[in-house]
Amino acid sequence: MSSPEPGLRDAWESEAQRWIAWTRRPGHDSYEQWHRDAFLPLLPAPGRRTVDVGCGEGRVSRGLRAAGHRVVGVDGSPTLVAAAREADPSVPVVLADAAALPLADDAADLVVAFMSLHDVDDLSGAVDEIARVLVPGGLLCLAVVHPVNSAGGFVSRRADSPYVIEGSYFAPRRYADRLERDGLGITFHSVHRPLEAYTGALERSGFVIEALREPVAPVEAVRDESNSRWQRLPVFLHLRARLDWR
């Protein structure tokens, strides 16, 4: 009998050192090239407290703090939590599962879940917990791999390559993406979920979606002509939701 597949927390802990090296090497992490200019305008001005769920090694938490937010980071990887604390000891970071946040009810007016909710085993539990720690009227701003992106792939690296979805778009499934560049390599462990899985979890937890964005890949991010194929479909999904009831 084969061994059961490790949970996503364990899978990311196994990649933690490679992720730290990857995200801290200039030009490797997608945050600055693909996300920042599109994602940050979704966020409100700094308020009472901002919780960064799935903070990883802390690069978004550090940016939020620099912008004036009172940030608490949360991550399930001991190695990434230690790296975040070391990088900026002024930002408190706690080790916890996203579906069991060690924070009081109504503890924050903003939760940021940047590129993390597709990497959790219990999406509904995580969204429920986010709702619990938010004050009524509080905001959740999230970014995930776009479900169209995680559902399929290009046939080749040609700019005009067909994009194919094999199997069911609607069926959630684990997947792993292996990337290598300039002597660094990392495997991203995630779950493909259809768009309705995210919107349904938000709806059940009392959120109302205020904004939904499908940012087009910037020219400087695609690097060469063959990578321009990524400008033909949404790679990431950005969303802002307000807690309407609980």
pLDDT at res. 178: 93
Residues 238 and 213: beta-carbon distance below 8 Å: yes
Query: In the numeric block, which tokens belong to residue 104?
Result: 């009081």
Query: In the numeric block, which tokens belong to residue 7?
Result: 């949970």
Residues 126 and 142: beta-carbon distance below 8 Å: no
pLDDT per residue as tens digits for the range 223-237: 666 678 888 999 999
How many CB atoms are located within 10 Å of the residue 119 CB? 21
Helix then strand then coil, in percent of the chain rounded to 5, is 35, 30, 35
pLDDT at res. 3: 46
- Confidence band for 1, pLDDT divided at 50, 70 and 90: very low
- Confidence band for 220, pLDDT divided at 50, 70 and 90: confident
pLDDT score of 84 more than 80: yes
pLDDT per residue as tens digits for the range 2-51: 445 679 999 999 999 999 999 999 888 888 878 888 999 999 999 999 99
Closest CA to 121 of 100, 103, 99: 99
CATH code of 8-243, in short, is 3.40.50.150
How many CB atoms are located within 10 Å of the residue 9 CB? 18
pLDDT per residue as tens digits for the range 173-200: 999 999 998 899 999 999 999 999 999 9
